[in-house]
Amino acid sequence: MTTAEAVATAAPPWRGGFGRLWSAAIVSRFGDALRTAALPLLAASLTDDPLLIASVTACGYLPWLLFGLLGGAVADRVDQRRAMWGVDLVRGALMAGFAVAVGLGEASIALLILLAFVLTTLQTLFDNAATALLPSVVDRRELGSANARLMTGQQIAGGLVAAPLVPLLLVLGVAMPHAVNAVTYGLAALLIFSLRAGAPERAPRRTGSTLRAEIAEGLRFLARDRTLRGLCLATTLCNVGMSALIATLVLHVTGWLGAGNGGYALTLTAFGVGSVAGGLLAKRLARLTGRVRAMFLAGTVQIGSLVVLGSVRELGAAVGCLGVFGAMNMVWNVQQATLTQERAPRDMLGRISSAFRTLALAGAPLGALLGGAAAAGWGLNAPALLTAGLFVLAIASLGPLIN
């Protein structure tokens, strides 16, 4: 098929496998968002050293750089359903133990850092297995709609529902967000355990084949496939830009716009609401234009919104721009995930999806540093314009893929 052709789409039925997988993903994301919001608050109550507090967040990214490709290779070897519920059981037990430690006043910065590292290491297997499992649960023509529903539901649960609940849960006890997170892992494990999905078709593994060789095989396929290679480059450039913007957005809103903490919260809410709207739009846009053209259009609109964000010194303009930016970001993410699942061989999907994730996260520290340098050197609005430039490069790399 050509990547630019209009695609046939259908909605997966809620009853059966997809409904359970969707529910498990939403419950897990809700719990993750509670923990992500609560851990920095807990860290700040244990120490006033900014480096130690930042280390808790950093250890939530480091395992992807160290083990992301390995997690994808393992996901291609094992029963993905069993891997997912097994990982969630382990994560649930870890979070339950951590909640007890917090409740007893035994938590320490070292424990927080260790927890963040171990949980994210387990996540490298879980997320890659989940990406590889979806095509076994839904029909090929349902993949676009399934990804849109998954990502939209996760955005609602994690971005709009969980964070506002953290202060309420903390009133009940400092350990409560982490205890709820433990429960969500257990519930997600039960949902995935009850899932009945056919085993993916895999070519027999060569005798003596190693994980290193299988990782290299997946990377070679990614490098040879023109469409996937272009998507990977474009997505990496976008993620560098996103990191530059996110790392300095609070300075842009509170400093350059002078809108204070309330304005910053409003822009984050606009991005979340826009992301939900983009999830509803993604399927329809792909059907009208094809997946690559939908990504090209989304990136172009994002460039316009970034230019306005970096040029117009009004909070209302920033709120509108970030709402549009969030919507187009979701459109991009849905098409990228679906194209990867459609084009990658089923027995390599874990490795190829892990390469996307690893490259995206590898660019995050670089983007944050670039954003900080741009803000320091050229003004607090400069990171938005820098991000626009990186998005121009990203959509330029998609141009040759449009037939």
Per-residue model confidence (pLDDT) at position 5: 47
The domain defined by 214-401 carries CATH number 3.40.630.10: no
The pLDDT value recorded for residue 202 is 53
Contact between 164 and 265 (Cβ < 8 Å): no
pLDDT at 1: 39
Judge if 17-197 and 214-401 fold alike in CATH terms. Answer: yes
**Model confidence pLDDT, tens digit, residues 151-176:** 888 888 887 788 778 778 888 888 99
User: Average pLDDT over the chain, rounded to whole?
Assistant: 85
Residue 312 confidence (pLDDT)? 96
Q: In the prediction, which pLDDT does 9 show?
A: 61
Q: How confident is the model at residue 91 (pLDDT cuts 50, 70, 90)?
A: very high
Query: Residue 200's pLDDT is what?
Result: 55
* Mean of pLDDT values over 27-33: 86
Q: Where are the beta strands (DSSP E) in 97-194?
A: none
> Which region among 57-66, 236-245, 320-329, 367-376 has the lowest average model confidence (pLDDT)?
57-66
Residue 203: the pLDDT is 55
Whose CA is closest to 365, among 229, 264, 230, 239? 239
Residue 284 CA from chain centroid, whole number:
22
What is this structure's pTM? 0.80
Structure token pair of residue 300? 């172009």
Residue 341, pLDDT score: 87
Can you give the pLDDT at residue 391? 97
Can you give the residue ranges of every domain in the chain? 17-197, 214-401
What residue type is 357 in one-letter code? R
> Which of 3.30.70.3270, 3.40.50.280, 1.20.1250.20, 1.10.3720.10 is the CATH number of 17-197?
1.20.1250.20
Please give the share of the chain, as a percent, with pLDDT higher than 90.
33
Please determine, for residue 360, whether its predicted confidence score (pLDDT) is greater than 90.
no
Over residues 247-256, mean pLDDT: 88
- pLDDT given for residue 304 in this prediction: 97
Average pLDDT over residues 307-316: 96
Separation CA 312–CA 328 (nearest Å): 20
Question: Is the pLDDT confidence value at 336 over 50?
Answer: yes
Q: pLDDT band for 130, please (50, 70, 90 cuts).
A: confident
Percentages helix, strand, coil for the chain (3-state, rounded to 5) are 85, 0, 15
pLDDT at residue 48 greater than cutoff 80: no
User: What SS3 state is found at 190?
Assistant: helix
Mean pLDDT along residues 105-114: 90
Mind listing the pLDDT tens digit for each residue in 178-217?
A: 999 999 999 999 999 988 755 555 555 555 678 888 888 8
Q: How far apart are CA 339 and CA 286, in angstroms?
A: 11
